[in-house]
Amino acid sequence: MKCLIIAAGKGSRLRQRGDSKPLIPVLGVPLIERAIRSAVEAGVDGFFVVTGYQGERVRGFLGSLAAHLGVPITPLFNEDWEKEDGLSVLKAREHLHEPFLLLMSDHLFDPSIAREMMSHPPDEGEIILAVDEGIRNSLVDMEDVTRVKTEDGKIRNIGKGLTDFNGFDTGIFYCTPAIFEALEHSTEKYGETTLSGAVRILATVDRARALHISGRFWIDVDDPAAFGRAEKALLDRLRSKPNDGPVARYLNRPLSVKISRRLVKYPVTPNQISLFSFLCSMLGAGLFAFGGYPGLLMGGLLAQFASVLDGCDGEVARLKFQRSVYGGWFDAVLDRYADAFLLFGLTWHALSANPGPLMLFIGFLAIIGSFMLSYTADKYDRLMSDRIIHGNVFRLGRDVRVFLIFIGAIFNQVPLTLSLIALVMNIETIRRVIVCRDHG
């Protein structure tokens, strides 16, 4: 699957953010890179990018990105970049002879939109446009958006000034080469070289199909207000992680998102964040074992801070397209080590004040309960995924455990904290075993 991306414009309304619009970073990633990475995630394996204003800079960036991603990116140049977008599309005519994805470099979107579109290819001589029927979408600039009138899954009209409309043009197309003929026809017959003009030509012969994507994320980043909405929307998407526990959802995640918003501006990797979070937990565990209330308090604060920071690695990975199976596994391994050392440190602290086998046994139960809860989480989460997503299941996880450690440290109640963790974690593990037995 090939993809054509239009990146020729000047973007004068975003000049305060950067000289070249395609290279303006949104939460640490340039607009053009976001478009390309989203398309790759959807299944695209080759690109043609039409450049114009500051084309040399954009082409240099694309060369580096192609080498990094391992996908071919062929730059094309439109000398008439100041004119309408249809001319940029025509620059790719001699290169694209099969159906292809067509995107705008300044549109952010959920890759699932392109993935679904590619699973329903257009017929011969047809194009498909992703149309958002959510006409109250708060991310849409009503003064600038291209409006669409659809009927029975077909596009009947399109244009910025439509008064009779029921959807918005998302700028995500799946085209056959018929789009090039329609552009030439629109130019010769009406003197119009816009992409919308070509869509209208195809709509008159019933060859423009609509794919309705209401409720899914997309945004045209065209001015400072839209830029702010885009950043906020991307950050808001991080807050909706289905398997977050109550502490993660209502305390840790709001804080970690604020931290991640700053971290994406620096060349820090998700694995480095995971490692730093682990080191904070290790320092906290050392302070627990050191003894005394000041060490206990500082250890508790560090443990909770590490728990908040533990959400940042995944958030930065999502924002910067750096997710990997290894990264998730590496984070999980470090979490298990951190849990063991934190609870061992607390047990050591408790034994210094209450020496004896009972305290040692309670500490052991807390550690083993913590490990077994983590061990059973994968199967349990898969089994209960639908209920977790809809909020019908209370999920007990690492966020609650570390928060209990934090609270116990503040109030200097280490034996009670260890007893509570030992009791709750092991009961929850047994409950999960029973649930998986009965429903697995």
Write out pLDDT tens, residues 265-295: 999 999 999 999 999 999 999 999 988 999 9
Asked if residue 8 has pLDDT above 60, the reply is: yes
| Contact by Cβ (8 Å): 88, 78 | yes
Asked if residue 407 has pLDDT above 80, the reply is: yes
- The CATH 1.20.120.1760 domain(s) of the chain lie at 241-439
Greater model confidence, 389 or 428: 428
Which pLDDT tens digit goes with each residue over 39-69? Answer: 999 999 999 999 999 999 999 999 999 999 9
Confidence of residue 382 (pLDDT cuts 50, 70, 90): confident
Task: Please indicate, yes or no, whether the overall pTM of this predicted structure exceeds 0.85.
Answer: yes
Confidence of residue 147 (pLDDT cuts 50, 70, 90): very high
Please tell me the predicted confidence (pLDDT) of residue 243: 75
Please tell me the predicted confidence (pLDDT) of residue 383: 77
What's the chain look like in SS3?
CEEEEEECCCCHHHCCCCCCHHHCEECCEEHHHHHHHHHHHHCCCEEEEEEECEHHHHHHHHHHHHHHHCCCEEEEECCCCCCCHHHHHHCCCCCCCCCEEEEECCEEECHHHHHHHHCCCCCCCCEEEEEECCCCCCCCCCCCCCEEEEECCEEEEEECCCCCCCEEEEEEEEECCHHHHHHHHHHHHHCCCCHHHHHHHHHHCCCEEEEECCCCCEEECCCHHHHHHHHHHHHHHHCCCCCCCHHHHHHHHHHHHHHHHHHCCCCCCHHHHHHHHHHHHHHHHHHHHHCCHHHHHHHHHHHHHHHHHCCHHHHHHHHCCCCCHHHHHHHHHHHHHHHHHHHHHHHHHHHHHCCCHHHHHHHHHHHHHHHHHHHHHHHHHHHCHHHHHCCCCCCCCHHHHHHHHHHHHHCCCHHHHHHHHHHHHHHHHHHHHHHHHHHC
2-230 maps to which CATH number? 3.90.550.10
Average pLDDT, stretch 97-107? 95
Please tell me the predicted confidence (pLDDT) of residue 18: 87
Asked if residue 345 has pLDDT above 90, the reply is: yes
Asked if residue 388 has pLDDT above 60, the reply is: no
How is residue 19 written in tokens?
């000289």
Please tell me the predicted confidence (pLDDT) of residue 386: 63
Average pLDDT, stretch 164-171? 94
Which segment of 103-107, 143-147, 178-182, 435-439 scores lowest on mean pLDDT? 435-439
Query: Which residues, in sequence order, are CB contacts of 396 under 8 Å at separation 6+?
Result: 245, 373, 424, 425, 428
| Contact by Cβ (8 Å): 21, 10 | yes
How is residue 157 written in tokens?
């009209």
Average pLDDT, stretch 20-38? 95
Share of the chain above pLDDT 70, in %: 98
Average pLDDT, stretch 370-377? 90
| Contact by Cβ (8 Å): 129, 170 | yes
Residue 11: what residue type? G
Please tell me the predicted confidence (pLDDT) of residue 135: 86
Q: What is the pLDDT of the chain when averaged over all its residues?
A: 92
Most confident residue range from 244-248, 297-301, 391-395: 297-301
- The CATH 3.90.550.10 domain(s) of the chain lie at 2-230
Place of tokens 């249809």: 86
The distance of Cα 196 from the centroid of its chain, to the nearest Å, equals 30
How is residue 170 written in tokens?
């998302």
User: Is domain 241-439 in CATH 1.10.4080.10, yes or no?
Assistant: no
Please tell me the predicted confidence (pLDDT) of residue 116: 94
Which pLDDT tens digit goes with each residue over 294-343? Answer: 999 999 999 999 999 999 999 999 999 999 999 999 999 999 999 999 99
